[in-house]
Amino acid sequence: MVKWFKATGSPPSDAREVPTRHDDDAALNVVKRLSRSLSTVGRDAAEVRGVLEDTQRVVQAQGQAMQALAQQLGDIGQAQAAIAAATVESSAAVQRARGALGVVGNEVVGIASTLGKVSEAAADITRISLQTRLVAFNAAVEAKHAGDAGRGFAVVAEAVKDLAGQVEASSKAIISAVTSLQERIDRFSVELIEVPGKPSQIHAAFHEVEDDVQRISSSAAESGRQMGLLNERAQLLEREVLQATHGLKAAFDGSDRFLRMSEELVEQIAESGVEVDDMPFIRAAQAAAAEIGELLAAALRDGQISEADLFDENYRPIEGTLPAQHLTRFCALTDRLFPAVQEKMLGFSDKIVFAIAADRNGYIATHNRKYCQPQRPGDTVWNTANSRYRRIFNDRTGLASARNQRPFLLQTYRRDMGGGRFVLLKEAAAPIVVNGRHWGGLRLAFNF
């Protein structure tokens, strides 16, 4: 401040302090420094917000992994229960089989006894047939002594003798077959009948099966116990992840409010008429938005497109694209009109990263040419960085710029370039209006 004096040099009685140009410049400089400080704070807040976003994604992935683990543990628990039930059924089946085996062994013993009786009967038949042959021999001798009178009796005696021989042969065959069968049954019965201290192979096999079933049952029970402990730990971790998620959300919301506050302060300073560092970019964005609005209005007047097509919101997915790309009915028009404005804006400053027009839903039909590269199938990282046209950017920054209807909007954010790469940018946005109707926004992004 300075004082006004009369020509004599003595101060008048009503002299008052008044601001000078020097004072105004000083105040403006303070405001500009404040604006730069706020811009730096906004950048730091955007970085913090980005780190919180990354942490949120990691925590969310951990939460999803824990949920998947809990589901898998539940499935494993059910499988363990099924194994335990199966082992009980298997043990019972083995017991039933052993019981059935004992019954079969007893039946085999009965069969062996019956075969012994058959063998004895066959032996009796053999003895009888021998006696019959002897009687027939004696009858034949007597018939021969009787001469002609005994000739008929001799024939009968000879027939009896032959029949007795056949019976003897049959009985011997029966005895032979029964003896062979008896030997096989004896060997089989040795396997079937369990003798204490001398287990047969089949009973030893049953014992091994029982032992294996018991081991499986014990292992399943122990595994089930361990799975129960693991499931308790997984549930505890899931609760901890949920708590971390809530804490991160609170921190994220706080950083978001802090970031927006710094942006709004810079906007208010700019709106006051102070020439802050961002004003050239704000004016450039406003000029480009007005130019694009005029081009679209002219296209409507000339009949190049209908109003319904210009404001089309039917975003049709392009098959096989990743990140997903879409088509609308105004793509051909924007491809013809927007490059002339958008490419010119890239030459405004070497700080400019991109200048694009988005509709009110964040859809970018036509990007700057260097970002309009055809996608490479399977290369999502490359596509994310280089194929940014025909895409919907409905994140916080994208939607705010697209739907802003104030004279301008300033934002600070991290731009996702794919593959975990991010670029910290500032963005000035201005609304695009066509015949009084809000179409979208001009987004002008630039480096600090």
Gap between the Cα atoms of 174 and 118, Å rounded: 8
Gap between the Cα atoms of 261 and 255, Å rounded: 10
Residue 187 included in any domain: yes
| Long-range Cβ contacts of 302-308 (<8 Å, 24+ apart) | 304/333, 305/329, 305/330, 305/333
Residue 157 CB neighbour total at 10 angstroms? 21
Residue 217 domain boundaries: 70-222
Residues 213, 283 within the same domain? no
Residues 310, 187 within the same domain? no
Residues 292, 376 within the same domain? yes
Residues 200, 108 within the same domain? yes
> Do the beta carbons of residue 422 and residue 50 sit within 8 Å?
yes
Look at residues 62, 400, 414 and name the one whose alpha carbon lies nearest to residue 248.
62
Buried b (16+ CB within 10 A) or exposed e, 402-436: bbbeeebbbbbbbbbebeeebeebbbbbbbbbbee
> Do the beta carbons of residue 47 and residue 198 sit within 8 Å?
no
Residues 295, 441 within the same domain? yes
Read off the tokens for 34.
Answer: 């404040």
Residues 182, 304 within the same domain? no
Gap between the Cα atoms of 276 and 247, Å rounded: 36
- Residue 423's pLDDT is 78
- Residue 4's pLDDT is 34
Residue 401 included in any domain: yes
What would you report as the CA-atom Rg of the chain, rounded to the nearest whole angstrom? 52
- Residue 412's pLDDT is 84
**Which residues have CB under 8 Å from 262's CB, separation 6+?**
38, 39, 41, 42, 45, 412
Residue 89 included in any domain: yes
Note down pLDDT in tens along the chain; length 448 residues: 333 333 344 444 444 455 555 555 565 555 555 555 555 555 555 555 565 566 656 666 666 666 666 666 667 767 667 776 777 776 676 677 667 666 666 666 667 677 666 667 667 677 776 777 677 677 677 667 776 666 666 667 676 767 667 767 776 777 777 677 667 676 666 666 665 656 666 666 666 676 777 777 777 677 667 767 767 776 776 677 676 676 666 665 665 665 566 566 656 666 666 667 888 999 999 999 999 999 999 999 999 999 999 999 999 999 999 999 999 999 999 999 999 999 999 999 999 999 999 999 999 999 999 999 999 999 999 999 999 999 999 998 899 999 999 999 988 887 766 666 777 889 999 999 999 999 999 999 999 8
Terminal alpha carbon distance of the chain: 35
Residues 412, 323 within the same domain? yes
Residue 48 included in any domain: no
Residue 370 included in any domain: yes
Q: Where are the alpha helices (DSSP H) in 272-366?
A: 279-301, 307-310, 331-346
> Do the beta carbons of residue 383 and residue 323 sit within 8 Å?
yes
Residues 295, 202 within the same domain? no
Q: How many domains is the chain partitioned into structurally? A: 2
Residue 410 included in any domain: yes
- Residue 9's pLDDT is 43
Residue 10 included in any domain: no
> Do the beta carbons of residue 442 and residue 364 sit within 8 Å?
no
CATH number at residue 175: 1.10.287.950
CATH number at residue 315: 3.30.450.20
Residues 304, 441 within the same domain? yes
- Residue 422's pLDDT is 76
Residue 142 included in any domain: yes
- Residue 16's pLDDT is 47
Residues 319, 421 within the same domain? yes
Gap between the Cα atoms of 118 and 175, Å rounded: 8
